[in-house]
Structure 1
Amino acid sequence: MKKLTGWSERAKAIKILTLFEKDKKLREHLEKETSGVDPQDRAFIREITAGTVRYLKLLDFSVERATGKKLKKQCPIVRNALRLIAYQLFFTGVPPYAAVNETVEAVKRLLNRKSAGFVNAVSKKLVGFDYKREVKRIEDYYERISTLYSFETWMVKRWENFYGKEELQPLLEGLNRVAPLFLRVNRIKIDQKELIKVLRERKIEVEPHPFIPDMIRVKGRVLIEELPGYKEGYFYIQDPASYLAAYLLEPKPGELILDVGAAPGGKTTAIASLTKNGAKIVAVDVNPERMNLLKKNAERLGVENLELVVTDISKDEDFIKRYYKSFDRILIDAPCSATGVIRRHPEGKWNKSIELIKHNQKVQCRLIRAAKDLLKEGGKLLFSVCSLEREEGENNLEFALKEGFKTLPFNNLPKELKHQFKDGGLRLFPHKNDTDGFFYTKLTC
């Protein structure tokens, strides 16, 4: 445990948080700054940085309320050190002396003794600070709720408008929970019972999802790359909601299937798994680097009968001519605001905007329109987004209907989710389903 409470890990966390401030990206900085770090230390750094980002608004409020110091006036390293201390004190089991002393030592190494002394003096006021009591004193309801759960106020207002006041706080709580780890069984190489046996033989605690096929939950902390079967391609790390997009498509062997927005390959490889390489899959994405990830994932999982195309189908006339009215099924997992996956990517709380949502909606509509030229008569289109925004879900369904599509039922929808299928659309939520937030609709023309 000495390593896990050391100054060097906190110094890296402060660096990552300082980089995050500049571009609101987290994963890229985490990967770069922790490359080559001991896996357990890397997990600790990831936990405290992601947690700090997750509760950023609340931490800033608490530091300023407890200390009387304006964070904006502090230099980035001091500011993020104070945030890091507050997160450790409020949300982890790290002893207060370690949270403060080791972070202060990190500041001394990164800056100087004077700055470290300032952080030490200020942070002592955070020990024992009752943030819940202080938040209750905020008069405005929306500001109070958005501070307590640490979300942008405009997000909170929108979601209350969409889903109602009773759903709001459970939804925010669900988005703040750290997502569980699920493995999606790769049927090309193994079945669910066999994979569970392999994992349990190595003393890894797992359980099958109660009603979604092929999903296995891993309990406790594990290093993914060291899980038995990872290198062999027995599974893919995937949230049940993401897997459902491929599952609800109901792909069949012998079909020609288009996967749009395919990289890094979760749904492409799920389609291959469901058909045991029996379908021909054309996977398209606009991002060449992410397509390289898809290629690597496909190779690890033993996916065959796959064609990778870097393109935007809404602008590629040659692609549309080549495949005009050819596909039996199309999966559009559209680029979106990704507000449904905030529990996995807490930086998503701070890099969204109404403008981004409206831009994404235009892109999504273009993809739906292009799909009509690519889908066979009587073919099936599954449209999905990992978004909580109506513009990217229900409004796009309305657009598709105006374009001449018709809705279809989900023939294989688990009975536990049937009550959430309404007016041709299905929504899943973190607080209701313990999944990422997703919207799906199944269409034909």
Structure 2
Amino acid sequence: MANVRNIAYHVLYRVLYEDAYSAIAINNAVREEKLSGVDISFLSALVYGVLERKLTLEFIIRQYSSIRIKKIEKGTLIVLYLGMYQLIYLDKVPDSAAVNESVKLCKQLKLYKSSGFVNAILRNFVRADKAYRLPDRQNIVKYCSVVYSCPESMVTELIATYGDDLTEKALQGILGRPPITVRVNTLKTDKAALQSALTAQGVIVNDISFLENSLNLSATGSLEKIPEFRQGHFFVEDAASQLCAEILGAQPGETIADVCAAPGGKSLYSAIRMENRGEIYSYDIHEHKIKLMRENADRLGISIMHTAIRDAASNHRLPVCDRMLCDVPCSGWGILRRKPEIRYKTDTNIDILPNLQYSILCMSVENLPADSVLVYSTCTLRKEENHDIIRR
């Protein structure tokens, strides 16, 4: 039987202290440890749960620890995150199991001196009926920071842009795991046929009212094991990303430029919308991402998508096109539910992003015929990267 808590510990360590991305780290662990079924679900629940609630967990741990969070050894702190998360948020895990397995984990990791410390904090929390205090709502920044596990600097900036109520609604939306949203490849199948095939395999399928050929999936297991995925009958793309491609409005026979295309979902969506007729030029600065886009296009049977390395901020000429998409690099504040670790990263160069985004937009406009359409998009909520760029 796989030691999922131990695996979750190592995944979290890589994400929190070695700058790994959660989805990639989990997928690597699943493959390396040959996990399946319940183990994958438990691993995902632990890793994503801790990442989504890290600041909340720290606030509660402080109330039971005589040692400051910053003074607690990194590995010990991760064990505490895991134990506390199970006690508060995973009802199906008995309290005794959450505590005992956390102490065992310390010993497996050779954190012998920490086992008593971890045991005392978790047991005292249970003895106190899991009681804890939250910040007063009068201090809305502190309250939202702790309850929704976002840095105070992020909360402050969002409130300045959107106000208290809208900010809190947005932060409520980043908790919990998002559905797997997919686009039906109508070059190979149709929505009804795909829905029927997936349902027959035990996948839970839900329609999306505002997107014609898209579905939300759950209970999928590994997507790579689904025949329809391997055969290119669908690809994964968030609903907001699909809406962006829908707004671009690519038509059969047109020429499209996607200047920051990776991972390629909007180009793929546009190619399907164009019935694989016309030309799409999809660019990125990374060779491995170009390779991934090409592989996805091949799997979906798309032949009109031409990939190449290009710096979108450079003055390299683009083909004359009817429509252009500038989905620029951004801070990612709009996809915190998908990538919860983003909120804790401190080396994101967030201050230099607006100038890069503006440079990409200006260079793209120079390559755009007067009667063409350009869509500027990001996956962030920051005013500096959206409203302010358009107004410059």
Once the 2 structures are TM-superposed, how far is the Cα of residue 221 of structure 1 from its aligned partner? 5.3
Retained in 2: the 8 A contact 1:62–1:131? no
Retained in 1: the 8 A contact 2:202–2:219? no
Once the 2 structures are TM-superposed, how far is the Cα of residue 223 of structure 1 from its aligned partner? 2.8
Retained in 1: the 8 A contact 2:16–2:341? no
Superposed, which structure 2 residues align to 1:162-177 within 5 Å?
A: 162-177=161-176
Once the 2 structures are TM-superposed, how far is the Cα of residue 225 of structure 1 from its aligned partner? 2.0
Letter in 2 for 1:12: I
Retained in 2: the 8 A contact 1:16–1:26? no
Q: Which residue is 1:18 aligned to? A: 13
Structure 1: gaps spanning 5 or more residues: 400-445
Residue number among 33, 36, 39 corresponding to 2:32 in the alignment: 36
CA distance 1:291–1:129, shift in 2 (3 Å)? farther
Superposed, which structure 2 residues align to 1:303-322 within 5 Å?
A: 303-315=302-314, 317=315, 319-320=316-317
CA distance 1:31–1:211, shift in 2 (3 Å)? closer
Q: Which residue is 1:398 aligned to? A: 391
Retained in 2: the 8 A contact 1:55–1:150? yes
Give TM-score scaled by structure 1 length.
0.82
Q: Which residue is 1:340 aligned to? A: 334
Q: Tell me whether 1:371 sits opposite 2:364 in the alignment.
A: yes
Q: Which residue is 1:227 aligned to? A: 226
Q: Deviations over 1:212-269 (max 9, x none)?
A: 1111112445332233411011111111101111111110111111012111211111
Output the CA distance in 2 between the equivalents of 1:25 and 1:112. 23
Output the CA distance in 2 between the equivalents of 1:129 and 1:351. 33
Output the CA distance in 1 between the equivalents of 2:137 and 2:117. 28
User: Percent of aligned pairs with the same residue?
Assistant: 28
Secondary structure (helix, strand or coil) at the match of 1:327 reads coil
Output the CA distance in 1 between the equivalents of 2:94 and 2:263. 39
Q: Which residue is 1:101 aligned to? A: 100
Output the CA distance in 2 between the equivalents of 1:225 and 1:236. 11
Structure 2: gaps spanning 5 or more residues: none
Output the CA distance in 2 between the equivalents of 1:73 and 1:352. 19
Superposed, which structure 2 residues align to 1:182-201 within 5 Å?
A: 182-201=181-200
Secondary structure (helix, strand or coil) at the match of 2:229 reads coil
Q: Which residue is 1:408 aligned to? A: none
CA distance 1:140–1:377, shift in 2 (3 Å)? closer
Residue number among 323, 327, 331 corresponding to 1:329 in the alignment: 323
Retained in 1: the 8 A contact 2:203–2:220? no
Q: Deviations over 1:270-306 (max 9, x none)?
A: 1111112112011001111122211111111111022
Q: Which residue is 2:260 aligned to? A: 261
Output the CA distance in 2 between the equivalents of 1:128 and 1:148. 23
Residue number among 52, 55, 58 corresponding to 2:53 in the alignment: 55
Deviates more, 1:244-253 or 1:20-29: 20-29
Output the CA distance in 1 between the equivalents of 2:140 and 2:202. 48
Superposed, which structure 2 residues align to 1:7-156 within 5 Å?
A: 8-27=3-22, 28-37=24-33, 38-40=35-37, 41-93=39-91, 94-127=93-126, 133-136=132-135, 140-156=139-155
Secondary structure (helix, strand or coil) at the match of 1:236 reads strand
CA distance 1:362–1:129, shift in 2 (3 Å)? farther
Retained in 2: the 8 A contact 1:332–1:384? yes
Output the CA distance in 1 between the equivalents of 2:225 and 2:328. 32
Output the CA distance in 2 between the equivalents of 1:89 and 1:258. 50
Once the 2 structures are TM-superposed, how far is the Cα of residue 23 of structure 1 from its aligned partner? 3.7
Once the 2 structures are TM-superposed, how far is the Cα of residue 138 of structure 1 from its aligned partner? 8.2
Give the CA RMSD over aligned residues. Answer: 2.1
Letter in 2 for 1:189: K
Deviates more, 1:242-251 or 1:212-221: 212-221
Letter in 2 for 1:102: E
Output the CA distance in 2 between the equivalents of 1:75 and 1:139. 33
Output the CA distance in 2 between the equivalents of 1:107 and 1:221. 33
Once the 2 structures are TM-superposed, how far is the Cα of residue 86 of structure 1 from its aligned partner? 0.8
CA distance 1:187–1:132, shift in 2 (3 Å)? farther
Output the CA distance in 2 between the equivalents of 1:202 and 1:257. 37
Secondary structure (helix, strand or coil) at the match of 1:382 reads strand
Q: Deviations over 1:20-78 (max 9, x none)?
A: 33244332433444433312323322221121111111111111212333232222211
Give TM-score scaled by structure 2 length.
0.92
Count of residue correspondences: 388
Letter in 2 for 1:186: N
Once the 2 structures are TM-superposed, how far is the Cα of residue 205 of structure 1 from its aligned partner? 2.4
Secondary structure (helix, strand or coil) at the match of 2:43 reads helix
Output the CA distance in 2 between the equivalents of 1:342 and 1:389. 13
Q: Deviations over 1:113-168 (max 9, x none)?
A: 44323322222123266778511458743212211211100111111121121212
CA distance 1:131–1:335, shift in 2 (3 Å)? farther
CA distance 1:165–1:118, shift in 2 (3 Å)? closer
Once the 2 structures are TM-superposed, how far is the Cα of residue 386 of structure 1 from its aligned partner? 0.6
Q: Deviations over 1:298-327 (max 9, x none)?
A: 111111022111111321x4x31x63xx11
CA distance 1:142–1:90, shift in 2 (3 Å)? same
Q: Which residue is 1:273 aligned to? A: 272
